[in-house]
A = this chain, B = another copy of it.
């Protein structure tokens, strides 16, 4: 059964239609429907026109409005990798929610991590005359943004430009304190750091997030009087890396009282290595981590971790863009501790 469900256009109702139907000029209708303050239209006429507009189901044509105003009530979101993890999703959710609040819609593009794609997406978006542009990155590498000479206001989320530019970052440094303080409360005095980042260690200025995460951690641990038994440098932060590192750590002769994992995936690998060693994560060996990906809740015991607040970051980006004056500041968003079951209760 082939049913054609493509639909022939019925002509839409225009301002002129409403004007004709209510016997006034287009001007009058426009003034009335937009509630222009000093329009001096009689309340009678106004009521009649409003009624007619309503009956006819009139909605102003957005293309026409855009043409007049040079504004589209649209925001562009260009993301490096939507595909990867829950991160971009959180960002999208925050952006969508905030945009809706401001009666804006969101145009999406993805660069798949490629620079030409990024350039093209930026061109595409400014061509579409978005009122603001949000660039979301997945790792916070410093970068030079191509093709951004255009006139669109821009906010970077989770990344920096070599130019001064408005950007939004998670407060990784403070997160270090959060973790150290929490460990101190659990009366832990010796920890192992599973997973520093090789490239970040080599080029700290290129990986501000990771660098701050560990700087905050080291400083706060020292302040709380917690010793570091060792730290393992990794190329990547996937479960298999965490597994290898933890295994190596366990083969050493300096057993820590708890594990700080670079992120949740590393923690997952740590769980696997601990299990292999007959150690129960969270009981025989407390674990705390960063990010709060989906898997954090899936692990057994569920992982206590410091959340990357992507949703709030997305919201904030919209607020800044639509809220008026954009200044080239860096905005830090706090990272909340998500208490689950991999770290003994405070005492």
Contacts and interface: CB of A to CB of B under 8 A. Distances in A.
Contacts of A268: 298
Contacts of A63: 63-64, 66-67, 72, 129
A166 B8 CA distance: 16
Interface stretch (A191-199, A255-263, A322-330): A322-330
Contacts of A300: 239, 243, 272
B327 A2 contact: yes
A127 B59 contact: yes
A83 B72 contact: no
A10 B149 CA distance: 12
A5 B294 contact: no
A343 interface: no
* Oligomeric state, in copies: 2
A229 interface: no
B151 A9 contact: yes
Given A67-B61, A67-B67, A275-B275, A6 B129 contact: no
A183 to B, nearest CB: 26
B107 A70 contact: no
Contacts of A105: 107-109, 124-125, 128
Contacts of A124: 105
Given A1-B328, A64-B67, A82-B96, 19 more contacts: A5-B166, A5-B328, A6-B324, A7-B153, A9-B151, A59-B127, A61-B67, A61-B129, A85-B86, A96-B108, A96-B110, A97-B110, A106-B107, A106-B108, A238-B298, A239-B298, A268-B298, A272-B300, A275-B275
Interface of A: 1-10, 59, 61-64, 66-67, 70, 72, 74, 77, 82-86, 88-90, 92-93, 96-97, 100, 105-110, 124-125, 127-129, 151-154, 164-166, 238-239, 243, 265, 268, 272, 275, 294-295, 298, 300, 324-329
